[in-house]
Amino acid sequence: MISHRQRPATPWLLIVLFIIISASSILLGFIYYKSQKARLLKDKNLELSAIADLKVSQIAQWRNERLSDAVLIGENAPFVKLLYEYLHNKNIKNNVNLRSEISASLKSVTRSSEYKNVLLIDSLGIVRSYYPNKDTMMGDYMKTMFPDLLKLESGVLTDFHRASTVNYIHLDLVIPLINTWQKDSSVFGLLAIRVDPKEILYPLVQVWPVPGKTPESYLIRQEGDQILYLSELRFKKNSELELRKSLSEEKLPEAMAVRGIESTLDGIDYRGAAVIAAMRKVPGSPWYMVAKISHSEVFTALNNQMTMIIIIIILFILTFGLVLGTIEWNENARFYREKYETELDHLALRKHFDYILKYANDIILLTDRNMVIIEANDRAFEAYQRDRNELIGMSLAKIRAPSALKELENERRILDEKGYSTYETVHVRKDGTLMPVEISARKVEIEGVKYFQSICRDITERKSAEETLRESEERFRKIFEESPISIAMTGKDLAIIRANSAFCKMLGYREEELKSNTIRSFTHPDYIAGDDISLLRLVAEEIPVYHTENRYIRKDKSVIWGSATISIIRNNNDEVQYFLVMIEDITLRKIAESELIAAKEKAEESDRLKTAFLHNVSHEIRTPMNAIIGFSALLNEPDTTEEERHQFIDIIFQSGSQLLSIINDIVDIANIESGQVKLNIKEVNLNSSLRTLGEQFSYKEKSDLITINFETGLTDDKSFVLTDGVKLIQILSNLINNATKFTREGRIDFGYKVKDGTLEFFVKDTGIGIPQEHHEKIFERFFQVDNLISRKFGGTGLGLSICKAYVELLGGKIWVISNPGEGTDFRFTIPFNAPQMQNQREKESPKEKEKGKKYPIV
Ligand code: ADP
C-alpha cells in the first residue's frame, strides 16, 4: 500500500519491545545477582560457623589438655613431695643434690615447647626455683591473684596477660602444691608454668583451612564495657591485649558475640570493613572466638561474575537494539523508496490526469466559493463558445439559463453542506442557445482553500431521447389501452401485470382483479397442459410466437373461444422478462363455424339421401312401370289366353296400385314440406277404425306366418275422439305395413292406451329390429337402414317421415323402442280429445270391450 505520510511512523512497537526486553534482561540480571549473593552469604556463613566451631573445640581441647597436665603434675606425689622437701629444707643451699634434682624436675616440665618456663613459688609468694634461668620473677598479674591461688585445689589456666617482668604475653598454668600425705593437707606452694600462646595457641586460633586474603579468626574477651582482643590480629600487628573496642558498637561482631549472637552477615570489623562473621564462646573460659571474612573477598567472584553478566546483558541489549535499529532502518528505507516510487507514480498520474482534464469529453469547471469560475478545461470553452479570457473570472450565474437561475443559490448551499451534489440544470451558450446539463459537483480543498469542482455533461441528446421515449411510451400506452384486441402483459410466471380494457371486458373482470391471477386461472383446464408445452418451446426459442385457439372462462363462468398469440419480451441480457398475450374473442366465429359444419353435414346427408331416393324412386317406379308396359303389350298378343289375360290385368292393376302408392307418398311429403297439409278433425270411432285396419291386413300375404293382434284402450262406447281419422289410419297403416315387411314370421300387436290424458298408440312386431344409432335417423326423409330386407322390398324411405310429420301435426310425438333381433315397438301419442256427446252415447249403448281379438290371416 502506498503511504500518504510524510515521515515514517515512529516505531513505537519496536521501541516498546526494546524497552521491555532491555528491562527484562536487567531485571533478570539483578534477580540473579540477588539470589547468588544470598546463596553466597548463606554458604559463607555456614563455612565460617563450621570453622568457628572447629576452632572453639580445638581451643577447648587445648585448655583441657593444659588442665590435664596440671592434674598430672599436681597429683605426681613423688614430684610434689620432692618440691615440698625442697621448699621446707632449711639448708637448701648446701643440699646441692636436691637443688639439681629440683632443677631437673622443673626442666622436665618445660619439655613441652609451649611451656616457656616454670616457677616454683612457696606459700609466701617467693620464687624458690625456676627453669630456665630467664623471666624468673613473679609478675604483677599473679601477685594480685596470689592469695586466691593459694586456695586452689586443682590447677587453673589464667587469662592472657602481660607482666612487667615478662616481655611476652603469656598465660599461666597454676598448679597448687598440696601436701596430701599429711593429715591437714594444705597448699604449700605453687607451680606456675608460663605458656607462650604464640607457639601453639595463636597458630591454632589463626590458622585457616583455605588460603584467602581476608579470612581471620581471633579470640576476645569482655573487659568491663569493652572488648579486649586477646590474640594476634591479621590486619593490626601487636594489638593483642592492646586493642580495645566498645561493647556498644552494634555491628562489631565481637560485641555481638558478647551479646550472645553467633553469626552476622553484615558486621563491621575492628578495621571498619564489612564482614561476615561467626562467633562462638569458648567453653570453660571467658574467651570468644570470632571467625570472619570480608565482604569484598566473598563478593569478589560474584562481582566478577556479575561484571560478566552485565557485560553480556549490555552486549545483548546493544545487539538487540542493533537488530531493531536495522529493522527500523530497513523500514525507513522501504518507506522512503515507496514514497519516492509513489511520488513518481503521482507525477505520471498527475500528468495523465491533467491530460484527461484538458481533453475530457465533459465540461469541468473549478469555481471559488463565490461561484466565480477560476479554471475550466478545453471542453468548457468549446461548449460555452467562449475563450479562456472570457470564461475565467466569469460568474457561474452567467452561464445559467435564466429559468434555472433561482435554484443556483440553493444548489450552492446543499453542495457546501453535503460536500457533494448531483443535479440537472440548463446552461446557456454565448449565442443564447440552451444546453441541458447534468452536473456532478464536489467541494474540494486545494492547499487549504475550498473550491467547488463541477463536472457538467451535455445531456441535450439524452433529453431529446428521453422525450422521444416518453412520447413513444405514451403512444404505446394509448395503443395498448385502446386496442380492440385484448392484450395483457404477464411476468415470467404468467401472472398478469397489465391488461387493457378489451382484455378486461372479454373476461368480465376489472384490471385489479386480473392482476392477482395468472393466465392459467382463466384458461379452460383442457388447454392448460398444451399451453405449458408450447410456452416452454417459446422460451427455448424453438418457435418465434405461440398461436393457439383456446377456450377461456369468464368471471360469470361462461366459456368463450379465444384466438391467442403469445410472444416474449426479453431484457438486454436476452432473459425472458415479460410475456405479451393477445387474445381475440372468436366465440361467434366458432359458433358460426360449427353451425356451418352442421349445415354442411346436413346438406351432404340430404344430398346423399336424395341421391338414394332418386335411385330408389327410379327403381320403384320403373319396376311397376315395366310390368304395366310389358303386360299391357302382352294383352295385345293374339295367342294370349283368357286366363293369361286376367292374370296380366291383375299384375298391371297391382303395379299401378304400387305406383300410385309411391306417387302418393311423394305427393304427401311434397305437401308436408310445402305446408299444404290440412287437418280434417272429425269425430272418429277409434275401436271401429282399428278393427277395420286389422281386418285389412289380415288378408294380406304371409298370413300363415304372422298373426296380427290389436288392443283397444277404451270401450267401444267411449272410443270416440276428435282427430283427423284419415291421417291417423295412414300413420298406423304405414307402421303395420313396415312391421309386416320387416317380420319374417311371428306376430304383430297394435292398438292404443290412454296415458296421462293422451292416447298412446303402438305397433309392435317380432321382426329384425333397428340398431340404436338409427333410432333418430329413420324418421328423416329418404333414410333407410341398409339391410337385406330393405334391399329386397325396396321402399322410398318416406313412410316414417310422413308418419312423424302427421303425428306432430296431430299434436303428438313418435319414437321407437327396438334392438336388432328383438323386434320393433313404434309408439306415438295424440291428444285425447273426447267429443261432447260421448257421455250421452255411453248411456244408450251397452258396454262392450274388444281386447286381444285375433284376426287370422287367410
Ligand atoms: P320404406 O319405404 O323404406 O319402408 P320408411 O320410412 O317406412 O321407408 O322406413 C324407413 C326405414 O325404417 C326402413 O327402410 C327400414 O329400414 C326401417 N323400418 C321401418 N319400420 C321397421 C320395422 N318395423 N322393423 C324394422 N325396420 C323398420
The predicted structure's pLDDT at residue 2: 44
The predicted structure's pLDDT at residue 846: 43
Nearest-CA neighbor of 796 among 667, 682, 700, 691?
Answer: 667
Reported as a pLDDT band with limits 50, 70 and 90, residue 724 is very high
Q: Is 455 in the pocket of ligand 1 (CB under 6 A)?
A: no
Is pLDDT larger for residue 698 or for residue 504? Answer: 504
Q: Is 805 in the pocket of ligand 1 (CB under 6 A)?
A: no
- State how far the Cα of 57 lies from the Cα of 38, in Å rounded to an integer: 28
pLDDT digits (tens, 9 = 90+) for 689-701: 999 888 888 776 6
Nearest-CA neighbor of 441 among 409, 418, 463?
Answer: 418
pTM of the predicted model over 0.85? no
Average pLDDT over residues 409-413: 89
Least confident interval from 106-115, 428-437, 537-546, 702-711: 106-115
Q: Which of 736, 738, 819 to mutate to test the pocket of ligand 1 (most atoms within 8 A of CB)?
A: 738
Q: At which residue does the C-alpha cell 457561474 appear? A: 396
Q: Give the torsion sign (CA, 613, 615, 617, 619).
A: negative
pLDDT digits (tens, 9 = 90+) for 209-235: 888 899 999 999 999 999 999 998 999
- Can you tell me which atom of ligand 1 is nearest the CA of 768? 25
**Residue 848 above 80 pLDDT?**
no
pLDDT digits (tens, 9 = 90+) for 327-368: 989 988 998 998 898 888 878 877 877 887 777 889 999 898
Nearest CA to ligand 1 atom 7: 799
Half-sphere exposure of 439 (CA within 13 A, CB side): 23
- State how far the Cα of 747 lies from the Cα of 708, in Å rounded to an integer: 6
Tell me the CA–centroid distance for residue 812 and ligand 1, in Å: 20
pLDDT digits (tens, 9 = 90+) for 580-601: 999 999 999 999 999 999 999 8
Fill in the amino acid letter for 175. I
The predicted structure's pLDDT at residue 134: 81
Q: Is 824 in the pocket of ligand 1 (CB under 6 A)?
A: yes
CB atoms within 10 A of CB 522: 24
- Can you tell me which atom of ligand 1 is nearest the CA of 743? 24
> Distance of CA 851 to CAs 700, 749, 825, Å?
22, 11, 19
Q: Dihedral through CA 763, CA 764, CA 767, CA 770, nearest 10?
A: 80
Is pLDDT larger for residue 606 or for residue 816? Answer: 816
Average pLDDT over residues 604-617: 77
DSSP 640: -
Tell me the CA–centroid distance for residue 786 and ligand 1, in Å: 10
Fill in the amino acid letter for 70. A
Fill in the amino acid letter for 830. I
Fill in the amino acid letter for 611. T
Nearest CA to ligand 1 atom 13: 784
Task: Of 254-258, 537-541, 710-714, 832-836, give the range with the top mean pLDDT.
Answer: 254-258
- Can you tell me which atom of ligand 1 is nearest the CA of 765? 23
**SS3 of residue 556 by DSSP:** coil
Tell me the CA–centroid distance for residue 649 and ligand 1, in Å: 30
All three cell numbers of 281: 564462646
Say if residues 293 and 216 touch (Cβ distance below 8 Å).
Answer: yes
> Distance of CA 775 to CAs 484, 761, 779, 817, Å?
48, 18, 8, 8
**Residue 772 above 90 pLDDT?**
yes
Mean pLDDT of the chain: 87
Say if residues 378 and 358 touch (Cβ distance below 8 Å).
Answer: yes
- Can you tell me which atom of ligand 1 is nearest the CA of 798? 6
Q: Is 785 in the pocket of ligand 1 (CB under 6 A)?
A: yes
Q: Is 770 in the pocket of ligand 1 (CB under 6 A)?
A: yes
Tell me the CA–centroid distance for residue 543 and ligand 1, in Å: 56
**Residue 849 above 50 pLDDT?**
no
Average pLDDT over residues 820-824: 92
**SS3 of residue 282 by DSSP:** coil
pLDDT digits (tens, 9 = 90+) for 129-139: 888 888 888 88
Tell me the CA–centroid distance for residue 794 and ligand 1, in Å: 10
CB atoms within 10 A of CB 39: 11
Contacts of 388 (CB under 8 A, 6+ apart): 376, 381
CB atoms within 10 A of CB 295: 20
Average pLDDT over residues 69-83: 90
Burial code (b: 16+ CB inside 10 Å, e: under 16) for 367-388 equals beeebebebbbebbbebbebee
Q: Give the torsion sign (CA, 185, 191, 192, 193).
A: negative
CB atoms within 10 A of CB 354: 11
Q: Is 823 in the pocket of ligand 1 (CB under 6 A)?
A: no
**Residue 176 above 90 pLDDT?**
yes
**Residue 854 above 50 pLDDT?**
no
Average pLDDT over residues 404-408: 90
Least confident interval from 182-196, 265-279, 804-818: 182-196
Q: Nearest-5° angle of CA 179, CA 184, CA 188?
A: 35
The predicted structure's pLDDT at residue 792: 67
Number of helices followed by number of strands (H, E) in the chain: 21, 29
Say if residues 49 and 276 touch (Cβ distance below 8 Å).
Answer: no
Q: Is 790 in the pocket of ligand 1 (CB under 6 A)?
A: yes
Fill in the amino acid letter for 758. T
DSSP 594: H
Fill in the amino acid letter for 567. S
The predicted structure's pLDDT at residue 246: 94
Average pLDDT over residues 659-686: 85
Least confident interval from 86-100, 549-563, 837-851: 837-851
Is pLDDT larger for residue 290 or for residue 640? Answer: 290
CB atoms within 10 A of CB 207: 11
- State how far the Cα of 692 lies from the Cα of 680, in Å rounded to an integer: 20
The predicted structure's pLDDT at residue 216: 93
Average pLDDT over residues 547-572: 93
- Can you tell me which atom of ligand 1 is nearest the CA of 763? 23
Contacts of 314 (CB under 8 A, 6+ apart): none
Reported as a pLDDT band with limits 50, 70 and 90, residue 71 is very high
The predicted structure's pLDDT at residue 858: 22
Q: Is 800 in the pocket of ligand 1 (CB under 6 A)?
A: yes
pLDDT digits (tens, 9 = 90+) for 747-759: 999 999 999 889 9
Nearest CA to ligand 1 atom 18: 738
Q: Is 362 in the pocket of ligand 1 (CB under 6 A)?
A: no
